[in-house]
Structure formats: structure tokens, C-alpha cells
Amino acid sequence: MKMKIRVEKLLGAVLLAERVVGKKESLPILSCILIEARKNNVRVKATNLESGLEIVIPGDVGVDGVVAVPAAILSQTLRSISGEMVECSVEEGNLAINTKKTKTLIKAVPHDEFPLLLKTTEEGGVSIPKQELIKIIQSVSYAASPSMVRPELGSIFISMNASSMLSVATDSFRLAEKAIPMHGKGSVELLIPLKHAQELARILEYVVAETVSMFAGDSQVVVRADGVSYVSRVIEGNFPNYKEILPKSFMTEATLLKGEFADMLRKARVFAGSDQHVGLHVYPKRKVFSATAHNTEVGEMSDVIDAALTGEDIDINFHIGYLGDCLASIEADSITLGFSGAGKPLVMRGASDASFTYLVMPLNR
């Protein structure tokens, strides 16, 4: 292998690929980045066996070739180079990186051991606005379980059809659903592990293109844009039939400003102590919406905010984090809280935004 390439381009690709390199000491090749130079294109690849990334960047390739080197050493080396261009070649099986003033030789790992990135059919792919894909992942990811004991709860469910794309996540204590309109063909349902979905969203932030393509196979999903291809395995299983638990009507409803509710929860955190419990008290007949929190070591608070209320009086307790986590996903300035009754779930939505739904279970006290 022999090529000339812009340091900025190579370093950017290496830093992106480094995000998905494996950490398993038993397989040193997984901590490496594979560089393939062919036909004036340079492919930078990394994988951890569950997900993989390939970035294609332009380069002046004199001799085709392949080399695999440790990701950390490669990225640190490229960070230290101040010039615009760098020459890369393979010398006695190792990677030589040279500029006018510097010479570096990085010991390579046999590239034959590098796993092939997962392949999937490119038939039936759908085009998705990049920002919308990022949004549907970020809007629900906090509601997924951090554990993979039950893989379907540790994943984000994505469903696409000709008119909409839907994402849902739940840890069995709360559930978030985000929908966006789409104009596509066919239908797809995927369960993407939480950590891979979050990594995909972060990687897409670096992609310049406004539209990405998604291809789904039996056991994997591929997202491509701007020379970047991200591959993730998908979970074989069924997402819970959550539609059955969404309340059809509410005993009590409250509409209030999202900012005031967020400020109330922020103050409640200070006084709630380690258990982070907050009580909501909704009295439509007295036109009172209040929150209380107390802790013997800190003190207590009881705040009232303005709200439009209907229905019956209710006192109910929640975990503050479970109430506050969803607020960034609600784009409207006002929110509606629908209470189904004591011991039953609360549903939160934007007052003028039907695209997002959040359900949270109360505490048993």
C-alpha cells in the first residue's frame, strides 16, 4: 500500500471509526482500525462484532493495499501531525506514516483476522431525513432499559411504513413514543440495541448529508450517507404490545407550561433526597396544581403553578427523573398531563404536538 492523503480527512475518519472499536483483549484485532486503499478511495473500517463502521474518503492511491493497526496509536499519531498531507505505506507488513519532517512506523496486526463487516441486502431501502432519524432516536432512548437481560426492553423499536416512522422504547416503568411523517415505500420493523442506536445518532451528527438511506436485513440494519456506513445487529424478538396499556380516557387532565413544570421538578430534586420522589396534587375543583417533596435532612417544598384543570381530585407520587426525562422531547411550550387514577399510569404529551407520547407508572406510595 502507498498513498497520499489529507491529514484532516484521515484523522476525522479514524476518530469516527474509533468510536466502535472493540474492547475485548482476547481479540486484539477488534481494537484495530482497518485501512484499505484502492482506486483513489481509502476505506477506514472498525467493528466490535455487534456493530461496525466504514468511512470512505478520497486519497491519492499509488499502490493498493490493506493494513490493520491499533486504533488508539493511530489516532494519537495523526493528532500530533501538523502538516496538511501525509504519506502512508506498508513497510515489512507495518504502517509507515511520513511527512516532510516526521517518520512513524506503527506495528500492524495481521489484517486477515479482521472480521468482515456484516452485509445485508440493499433492496427495499428507505430514505430518511438525517435530523428526523436523530430526533426519533434521541426522543425515546432514555426510556429504554440499560440492561439487556430482556433484549426487547434494552432496545429501541423502529417501525416504518409508507406514511410514517415510529420509534418506541420502554423499561417497563415508563414508555416513550415518537412519530414523524414520511413518504416512502414498503414497511420495516426493527429492534436496535440501545447502545447501537445511540451511537448511530452520534455518528450521524458528523454526517454532512441531509438524507440517509436505511437498509434492513434479517439480522442487521445498515445506515448509509456521505460515504459513511454504520452496521448494527438487530434483536430477534417481539416488542411489547404497548398500545394495549395506553389509556383511552383520563379521570383528570392538566395543561400547563412546560418551563414552569420543569422548574418545579428542578426544585423538587433538591428536597426529595436520595429516593427522588415527588408528589403531584391535582384539585380541579379548587383550581390547584402543586408538587411536594420532603427529606428529613434537607427540608421540604410545596409549590403551586398555574394550570388548566378538569376532572377529579388526585394525589399521586412519581420518580422525579421519570417525569423530567421526557421534557426535552416535547417540542411544544405547553404540556398536557392525563391521569387515569391512583396507581395507574400518567400520560404526558405536548399540548399542540401529537407526535410524542410519554407514559410513566406512579410509585406505590
The predicted-structure confidence for 250-259, as pLDDT tens digits, reads as follows 999 999 999 9
User: Which pLDDT score, from 0 to 100, does residue 119 have?
Assistant: 61
User: Which pLDDT score, from 0 to 100, does residue 217 have?
Assistant: 77
Which of the four pLDDT bands, split at 50, 70 and 90, describes residue 127? confident
Q: For 166, phi and psi rounded to 5 degrees?
A: -130, 140
Which secondary structure element, helix H or strand E, spans residue 66, and what is its range?
strand 65-70
Query: Do residue 39 and residue 100 come from a single domain?
Result: yes
Query: Do residue 108 and residue 179 come from a single domain?
Result: no
C-alpha of 70 from chain center: 26
Instruction: Please give the average per-residue pLDDT across 203-231, as a whole number.
Output: 91
Determine, yes or no, domain membership for 193. yes
Query: Do residue 56 and residue 135 come from a single domain?
Result: no
pTM over 0.85: yes
Ramachandran quadrant class, 275 (left: phi over 0; alpha: psi -120 to 50; beta: rest): alpha
Query: Do residue 105 and residue 197 come from a single domain?
Result: no
Query: Do residue 19 and residue 71 come from a single domain?
Result: yes
Query: Do residue 211 and residue 181 come from a single domain?
Result: yes
Determine, yes or no, domain membership for 121. no
Determine, yes or no, domain membership for 326. yes
Query: Do residue 276 and residue 307 come from a single domain?
Result: yes
Q: Tell me: pLDDT of 121 over 70.
A: no
Domain count, the chain: 3
Determine, yes or no, domain membership for 319. yes
Q: Quick one: what percent of the chain has pLDDT higher than 70? A: 96
Which has the higher per-residue pLDDT, 3 or 164? 3
- Per DSSP, helices labelled H in 19-123 are 71-79
Q: In which domain, by residue range, is 156 found?
A: 126-242
Determine, yes or no, domain membership for 120. no
Tell me, what amino acid is at 343? G
Torsion of CA 101, 73, 45, 35, to 10 degrees: 40
The predicted-structure confidence for 52-106, as pLDDT tens digits, reads as follows 999 999 999 999 999 999 999 999 999 999 889 999 999 999 999 999 889 999 9
Q: What is the CB neighbour count within 10 angstroms for residue 183?
A: 9
Q: Which residues of 191-213 are buried (b: 16+ CB within 10 A; e: fewer)?
A: bbbbbbbbbbbebbeebeeeebe
Determine, yes or no, domain membership for 291. yes
Query: Do residue 185 and residue 82 come from a single domain?
Result: no
193, three cell numbers: 440495541
Determine, yes or no, domain membership for 54. yes
Which has the higher per-residue pLDDT, 337 or 214? 337
Between CA 292 and CA 302 the distance in angstroms is 4
Q: Quick one: what percent of the chain has pLDDT higher than 90? A: 81
The predicted-structure confidence for 130-176, as pLDDT tens digits, reads as follows 999 999 999 999 999 999 999 999 999 999 887 889 999 999 999 99
Query: Do residue 276 and residue 218 come from a single domain?
Result: no
Residue where one domain finishes, among candidates 242, 267, 302:
242
Query: Do residue 254 and residue 234 come from a single domain?
Result: no
Which of the four pLDDT bands, split at 50, 70 and 90, describes residue 124? low
